[in-house]
Amino acid sequence: MPLAALAVAFLALPLVAVAVRTPWGALAEELAAPGVLAALRLSLVCSLGALALSFFLGLPLAWVLARVPFRGRRIVRALVILPMVLPPVVGGVALLLAYGRQGIVGHLLEQALGITLPFTTAGVIVAEAFVGMPFFVVTVEAGLRAMDGRYEEAAASLGAGRWTTFRRVTLPLLAPSLGAGAALCWARALGEFGATITFAGNLPGSTQTMPLAVYLALQTDTTTAVALSAVMLAISLTVLVVLRDRWFRLP
Protein backbone atom coordinates (compact mmCIF):
# COMPACT_ATOMS: atom_id res chain seq x y z
CA MET A 1 0.00 0.00 0.00
CA PRO A 2 2.66 2.60 0.87
CA LEU A 3 4.42 1.89 -2.42
CA ALA A 4 1.18 2.31 -4.30
CA ALA A 5 0.60 5.63 -2.53
CA LEU A 6 4.12 6.70 -3.40
CA ALA A 7 3.50 5.81 -7.03
CA VAL A 8 0.36 7.94 -7.08
CA ALA A 9 2.24 10.85 -5.50
CA PHE A 10 5.11 10.41 -7.94
CA LEU A 11 2.76 10.64 -10.93
CA ALA A 12 0.38 13.25 -9.61
CA LEU A 13 2.67 15.76 -7.88
CA PRO A 14 4.18 17.29 -11.04
CA LEU A 15 0.67 17.89 -12.38
CA VAL A 16 -0.41 19.45 -9.09
CA ALA A 17 2.71 21.63 -9.26
CA VAL A 18 1.64 22.98 -12.64
CA ALA A 19 -1.78 23.81 -11.23
CA VAL A 20 -0.22 25.48 -8.16
CA ARG A 21 2.15 27.63 -10.19
CA THR A 22 -0.35 28.54 -12.88
CA PRO A 23 -0.98 32.29 -12.83
CA TRP A 24 -4.75 31.87 -12.62
CA GLY A 25 -5.42 35.61 -12.28
CA ALA A 26 -3.38 36.48 -15.33
CA LEU A 27 -4.25 33.35 -17.28
CA ALA A 28 -6.60 35.06 -19.73
CA GLU A 29 -4.00 37.74 -20.36
CA GLU A 30 -1.20 35.19 -20.87
CA LEU A 31 -3.31 33.19 -23.28
CA ALA A 32 -4.29 36.27 -25.23
CA ALA A 33 -0.63 36.96 -25.98
CA PRO A 34 0.18 36.89 -29.68
CA GLY A 35 1.08 33.43 -30.86
CA VAL A 36 -0.63 31.46 -28.12
CA LEU A 37 -3.96 31.03 -29.89
CA ALA A 38 -2.12 30.35 -33.15
CA ALA A 39 -0.09 27.61 -31.46
CA LEU A 40 -3.20 26.13 -29.90
CA ARG A 41 -5.10 26.15 -33.19
CA LEU A 42 -2.11 24.68 -35.01
CA SER A 43 -1.80 21.94 -32.41
CA LEU A 44 -5.45 20.98 -32.85
CA VAL A 45 -5.34 21.12 -36.66
CA CYS A 46 -2.12 19.11 -36.92
CA SER A 47 -3.01 16.46 -34.35
CA LEU A 48 -6.40 15.93 -36.01
CA GLY A 49 -4.66 15.82 -39.40
CA ALA A 50 -2.27 13.19 -38.07
CA LEU A 51 -5.24 11.25 -36.70
CA ALA A 52 -7.02 11.39 -40.07
CA LEU A 53 -3.87 10.17 -41.82
CA SER A 54 -3.53 7.38 -39.26
CA PHE A 55 -7.15 6.33 -39.86
CA PHE A 56 -6.76 6.42 -43.62
CA LEU A 57 -3.52 4.40 -43.74
CA GLY A 58 -3.52 2.71 -40.36
CA LEU A 59 -6.91 0.98 -40.52
CA PRO A 60 -6.03 -1.00 -43.68
CA LEU A 61 -2.65 -1.82 -42.18
CA ALA A 62 -4.19 -3.05 -38.92
CA TRP A 63 -6.60 -5.15 -40.95
CA VAL A 64 -3.81 -6.75 -42.97
CA LEU A 65 -1.71 -7.42 -39.87
CA ALA A 66 -4.64 -9.02 -38.04
CA ARG A 67 -6.33 -10.95 -40.82
CA VAL A 68 -3.97 -11.63 -43.74
CA PRO A 69 -1.29 -14.23 -43.12
CA PHE A 70 1.82 -13.48 -45.16
CA ARG A 71 5.54 -14.07 -44.97
CA GLY A 72 7.35 -11.37 -43.02
CA ARG A 73 4.29 -10.26 -41.11
CA ARG A 74 6.28 -10.17 -37.87
CA ILE A 75 8.92 -7.99 -39.50
CA VAL A 76 6.27 -5.59 -40.77
CA ARG A 77 4.72 -5.39 -37.31
CA ALA A 78 8.13 -4.72 -35.75
CA LEU A 79 8.68 -1.90 -38.25
CA VAL A 80 5.29 -0.43 -37.37
CA ILE A 81 6.03 -0.53 -33.65
CA LEU A 82 9.53 0.91 -34.02
CA PRO A 83 8.45 4.59 -34.02
CA MET A 84 6.75 3.96 -30.65
CA VAL A 85 10.04 3.09 -28.99
CA LEU A 86 12.31 5.32 -31.07
CA PRO A 87 13.38 8.59 -29.45
CA PRO A 88 11.28 11.23 -31.26
CA VAL A 89 14.33 13.37 -32.13
CA VAL A 90 15.82 10.36 -33.90
CA GLY A 91 12.50 10.02 -35.70
CA GLY A 92 12.84 13.65 -36.78
CA VAL A 93 16.33 13.05 -38.14
CA ALA A 94 15.08 9.94 -39.97
CA LEU A 95 12.19 11.93 -41.43
CA LEU A 96 14.63 14.61 -42.66
CA LEU A 97 16.81 11.99 -44.33
CA ALA A 98 13.76 10.42 -46.00
CA TYR A 99 11.36 13.28 -46.74
CA GLY A 100 13.64 16.32 -46.43
CA ARG A 101 14.66 18.42 -49.41
CA GLN A 102 17.80 16.31 -49.86
CA GLY A 103 16.09 13.14 -48.58
CA ILE A 104 15.87 9.93 -50.55
CA VAL A 105 12.16 10.45 -51.24
CA GLY A 106 11.98 14.16 -50.48
CA HIS A 107 14.13 15.31 -53.40
CA LEU A 108 11.91 13.33 -55.79
CA LEU A 109 8.81 14.93 -54.23
CA GLU A 110 10.29 18.35 -54.81
CA GLN A 111 11.41 17.64 -58.38
CA ALA A 112 8.25 15.88 -59.49
CA LEU A 113 5.54 17.71 -57.58
CA GLY A 114 7.23 20.77 -56.15
CA ILE A 115 6.31 19.61 -52.64
CA THR A 116 8.66 20.24 -49.73
CA LEU A 117 7.67 19.05 -46.28
CA PRO A 118 10.21 20.56 -43.84
CA PHE A 119 9.16 23.94 -42.44
CA THR A 120 5.52 23.40 -43.49
CA THR A 121 2.34 22.59 -41.59
CA ALA A 122 2.11 19.41 -43.68
CA GLY A 123 5.54 18.52 -42.30
CA VAL A 124 4.18 18.82 -38.75
CA ILE A 125 1.32 16.47 -39.64
CA VAL A 126 3.79 13.98 -41.13
CA ALA A 127 5.96 14.09 -38.00
CA GLU A 128 2.97 13.68 -35.69
CA ALA A 129 1.52 10.83 -37.78
CA PHE A 130 4.91 9.12 -37.76
CA VAL A 131 4.91 8.90 -33.97
CA GLY A 132 1.13 8.59 -33.47
CA MET A 133 0.03 6.09 -36.11
CA PRO A 134 1.71 3.06 -34.51
CA PHE A 135 -0.47 3.50 -31.41
CA PHE A 136 -3.57 3.44 -33.61
CA VAL A 137 -2.44 0.43 -35.65
CA VAL A 138 -1.42 -1.64 -32.63
CA THR A 139 -4.64 -0.93 -30.72
CA VAL A 140 -6.94 -1.60 -33.67
CA GLU A 141 -5.03 -4.73 -34.63
CA ALA A 142 -5.46 -6.08 -31.11
CA GLY A 143 -9.18 -5.27 -31.31
CA LEU A 144 -9.52 -7.13 -34.60
CA ARG A 145 -7.73 -10.16 -33.19
CA ALA A 146 -9.90 -10.25 -30.07
CA MET A 147 -13.08 -10.04 -32.12
CA ASP A 148 -15.19 -13.13 -32.39
CA GLY A 149 -15.02 -14.06 -36.08
CA ARG A 150 -18.26 -16.03 -35.89
CA TYR A 151 -20.38 -12.88 -36.10
CA GLU A 152 -18.81 -12.05 -39.44
CA GLU A 153 -19.18 -15.63 -40.62
CA ALA A 154 -22.82 -15.58 -39.62
CA ALA A 155 -23.38 -12.36 -41.53
CA ALA A 156 -21.68 -13.80 -44.59
CA SER A 157 -23.68 -17.02 -44.40
CA LEU A 158 -26.85 -14.96 -44.29
CA GLY A 159 -25.89 -13.40 -47.59
CA ALA A 160 -24.14 -10.16 -46.60
CA GLY A 161 -21.37 -9.05 -48.96
CA ARG A 162 -17.87 -8.27 -47.72
CA TRP A 163 -18.51 -4.51 -47.62
CA THR A 164 -21.85 -4.93 -45.85
CA THR A 165 -20.30 -7.32 -43.33
CA PHE A 166 -17.48 -4.89 -42.66
CA ARG A 167 -19.81 -1.90 -42.33
CA ARG A 168 -22.64 -3.51 -40.38
CA VAL A 169 -20.79 -6.10 -38.26
CA THR A 170 -17.03 -5.52 -38.07
CA LEU A 171 -17.02 -1.75 -37.61
CA PRO A 172 -19.57 -1.65 -34.75
CA LEU A 173 -17.73 -4.47 -32.96
CA LEU A 174 -14.45 -2.67 -33.52
CA ALA A 175 -15.70 0.74 -32.36
CA PRO A 176 -14.22 0.58 -28.83
CA SER A 177 -10.77 -0.30 -30.20
CA LEU A 178 -11.05 2.39 -32.85
CA GLY A 179 -11.93 4.91 -30.16
CA ALA A 180 -9.09 3.90 -27.87
CA GLY A 181 -6.57 3.76 -30.73
CA ALA A 182 -7.70 7.14 -31.99
CA ALA A 183 -7.42 8.68 -28.52
CA LEU A 184 -3.91 7.31 -27.97
CA CYS A 185 -2.78 8.36 -31.44
CA TRP A 186 -4.27 11.82 -31.10
CA ALA A 187 -2.84 12.41 -27.62
CA ARG A 188 0.60 11.31 -28.77
CA ALA A 189 0.37 13.60 -31.81
CA LEU A 190 -0.80 16.52 -29.67
CA GLY A 191 2.18 16.18 -27.36
CA GLU A 192 4.73 15.54 -30.09
CA PHE A 193 7.86 17.70 -29.73
CA GLY A 194 11.14 16.11 -30.77
CA ALA A 195 10.30 14.93 -34.26
CA THR A 196 8.37 18.12 -34.96
CA ILE A 197 11.10 20.60 -34.03
CA THR A 198 13.70 18.50 -35.83
CA PHE A 199 11.76 17.84 -39.03
CA ALA A 200 9.32 20.72 -39.35
CA GLY A 201 11.19 23.48 -37.54
CA ASN A 202 9.64 26.16 -35.40
CA LEU A 203 7.71 29.05 -36.93
CA PRO A 204 4.79 30.69 -35.13
CA GLY A 205 1.59 30.20 -37.11
CA SER A 206 2.82 27.43 -39.39
CA THR A 207 4.89 24.91 -37.45
CA GLN A 208 5.06 26.10 -33.84
CA THR A 209 2.70 23.79 -31.97
CA MET A 210 1.94 24.11 -28.25
CA PRO A 211 4.78 21.88 -27.00
CA LEU A 212 7.28 23.94 -29.03
CA ALA A 213 5.75 27.17 -27.74
CA VAL A 214 6.03 25.89 -24.16
CA TYR A 215 9.68 24.93 -24.66
CA LEU A 216 10.68 28.28 -26.12
CA ALA A 217 8.61 30.33 -23.70
CA LEU A 218 10.39 28.54 -20.86
CA GLN A 219 13.68 30.10 -21.97
CA THR A 220 12.55 33.64 -21.35
CA ASP A 221 9.25 33.66 -19.54
CA THR A 222 8.45 30.88 -17.09
CA THR A 223 5.01 32.31 -16.31
CA THR A 224 3.88 32.02 -19.91
CA ALA A 225 5.32 28.52 -20.15
CA VAL A 226 3.41 27.43 -17.06
CA ALA A 227 0.19 29.00 -18.36
CA LEU A 228 0.59 27.16 -21.68
CA SER A 229 1.34 23.93 -19.81
CA ALA A 230 -1.85 24.36 -17.80
CA VAL A 231 -3.83 24.61 -21.04
CA MET A 232 -2.29 21.39 -22.35
CA LEU A 233 -3.00 19.71 -19.03
CA ALA A 234 -6.64 20.84 -19.22
CA ILE A 235 -6.96 19.42 -22.74
CA SER A 236 -5.50 16.09 -21.65
CA LEU A 237 -7.84 15.96 -18.65
CA THR A 238 -10.79 16.67 -20.93
CA VAL A 239 -9.83 13.74 -23.14
CA LEU A 240 -9.66 11.50 -20.09
CA VAL A 241 -13.07 12.63 -18.91
CA VAL A 242 -14.59 12.06 -22.33
CA LEU A 243 -13.10 8.58 -22.43
CA ARG A 244 -13.84 7.77 -18.79
CA ASP A 245 -16.31 5.05 -19.59
CA ARG A 246 -13.67 3.17 -21.46
CA TRP A 247 -10.62 3.64 -19.25
CA PHE A 248 -12.04 4.08 -15.79
CA ARG A 249 -14.50 1.19 -15.91
CA LEU A 250 -13.02 -1.58 -13.81
CA PRO A 251 -13.25 -5.10 -15.15
Partner 1 sequence: MLTLAALLAATSACGQDEGTAASRDLRVFAAASLTEAFTELGDAFMAEHPDVKVTFVFGASSDLARQIEEGAQADVLATADKETMAGVADAVDPRVFVRNRLTIVVAPGDPLAIHALEDLAKPDVKVVLAAPEVPAGRYAERILDGQGVVVEPVSYEATVKSVVTKVSLGEADAGIAYVTDVAAAGGEVDEVPIPIAENVIAAYPIATLAGSQAGAEAQAFVDFVLSDAGQKIMKTYGFLPRPTAR
Interface residue list for partner 1 (CB under 8 A): 2-3, 6, 96, 100-102, 118-119, 197, 200-204, 207-208, 215-220, 222
Beta carbon of residue 11, minimum distance to partner 1 (angstroms, whole number):
14
Alpha carbon distance 120, 98 (integer Å): 16
Beta carbon of residue 119, minimum distance to partner 1 (angstroms, whole number):
4
Report DSSP state, residue 208: -
Alpha carbon distance 90, 87 (integer Å): 5
| Residue 219 CB partners (closer than 8 Å, separation 6+) | none
If the CB atoms of residues 23 and 179 are measured against partner 1, the closer one turns out to be: 23
What's the half-sphere exposure (Cβ side, CA atoms, 13 Å) at 225? 11
Q: Judge contact between 53 and 185, C-beta under 8 A.
A: no
If the CB atoms of residues 128 and 152 are measured against partner 1, the closer one turns out to be: 128
Beta carbon of residue 83, minimum distance to partner 1 (angstroms, whole number):
21
CA 131, 132, 135, 136 dihedral sign is negative
Beta carbon of residue 103, minimum distance to partner 1 (angstroms, whole number):
9
Compute the chain's Rg from CA coordinates: 21
Beta carbon of residue 102, minimum distance to partner 1 (angstroms, whole number):
4
| Residue 152 CB partners (closer than 8 Å, separation 6+) | 165, 169, 170
If the CB atoms of residues 182 and 217 are measured against partner 1, the closer one turns out to be: 217
If the CB atoms of residues 12 and 154 are measured against partner 1, the closer one turns out to be: 12
If the CB atoms of residues 102 and 238 are measured against partner 1, the closer one turns out to be: 102
